[in-house]
Amino acid sequence: MTPLIRKDTKVLLVITKSNWGGAQAYVHTLATELAREGAEVVVALGGTGAAGAAPGALATRLKNAGIRTIVVTAFMRDLSLLHEWRAFIELLGIIRRERPQVVHVNSSKAGGIGTLAARLARIPRIIFTSHGLAYDEARAPLARALIACATWITFCLAHRVIVLSKDNERRGKRLPFCGKKVTLIYNGIEPVAYCSREEARRALTLPQEGLCVGTIAELVPNKALPSLIEAAALLVERRRVFTLYIIGDGDERRALEVLIRARHLEYTVRLTGFMPDAAQYLKAFDIFTLVSVKEGLPTVLLEAGGAGLAVVGSRIPGIVDIIKEERSGLLVEPQQSVALADALDRLMHDASLRATLGKELQRSVSRTFSRKKMLRETFACYDPPSYS
């Protein structure tokens, strides 16, 4: 079998946060495959969000896989010029000590800081994976303009930019001096050992009968979970009987709990917190939903497709690359609770439609989103670029 990468290659992967999510699963997949191929791999990562926070689930999983990690203590979620400077100095020192041939940065903050540090350290191959364009987030106009400028600079500093959706590819190629650098590589997923419906419902303490709508998401603003809770309230007003199960944790948890109580949904909506390997429980759900306002290419939707679930998703880049309207799922405009409630209501009342959409999504995921293809195309980017 032809190796995917030369064994004498040393790769430094960099990511801002180490709590578990789609970007972290992506880094874990690359790191473990690089190690399996015989390359030397190191992962530089931050904590779970705040400056100096302890490393999260990604660090634990990498350690269990025998992969060396280095903590960048100044990496944090929120913007702070002092902490960005400290993170830059930390990362520059790490790169100079480790002397990798490839630096592969992930997420917007690690991307900007990491590409600049790698350029100054004269790293021959610098790769940036954009897990969604950061300036698509809901922010004040000036903040969005500054983030857009920082994104363009990051693209310019990288030798190759990997994007995860057709929309981001089209827009990325339009950025000045970036057209040849941008390449679309869809995520692929590792096989999931799904529990049976019965086993999954027992594990989640759900009754064996009754409709369940589920999602797996970090509890952060980009996931737009208040709109999902508002849609659940509308469905309860229509006298629909169901459970909404939200697996994940994050800074928005307290606010979501307040909203659930305000809408009298304590017996309808469950917040479980973070659950390791949550994808194995997907078959507990009848319907899966992802209502984000910004995504890269959501791994959790691929996992839901692998489980054969009917899906309702936001009509945004990344999600529309996976879900084809009325063929492999239903799409609604983001943060439109009434439209979301209508789509969920339709699936609740049509088991045949749920089965048809779920089977088509399962076929599409197996056909289009290949893990082997993702790895082969990604490691091909590690070859020396023909442009700077």
CA gap 15, 28 in Å, rounded: 11
- Kindly report, residue by residue over 258-293, the tens digit of the pLDDT: 999 999 999 999 999 999 999 999 999 999 999 999
Under 8 Å between Cβ of 59 and 96: no
Amino acid 388: pLDDT: 43
Same fold, 10-188+370-380 and 197-368: yes
Amino acid 80: pLDDT: 74
CA gap 146, 309 in Å, rounded: 39
Amino acid 10: pLDDT: 97
Structure tokens belonging to residue 233: 């309230």
Q: Where are the domains of the chain?
A: 10-188+370-380, 197-368
Under 8 Å between Cβ of 292 and 317: no
What SS3 state is found at 10?
strand
Q: What is the CATH number of domain 197-368?
A: 3.40.50.2000
67: amino acid identity, one letter: I
Amino acid 175: pLDDT: 95
CA gap 127, 356 in Å, rounded: 39
Which residues in the chain land under pLDDT 50? 386-388
Amino acid 386: pLDDT: 42
Please give the CATH architecture assigned to the domain spanning 10-188+370-380. Answer: 3-Layer(aba) Sandwich (3.40)
First vs last C-alpha separation in the chain? 32
Q: What is the number of other CB atoms lying within 10 angstroms of the CB of residue 14?
A: 30
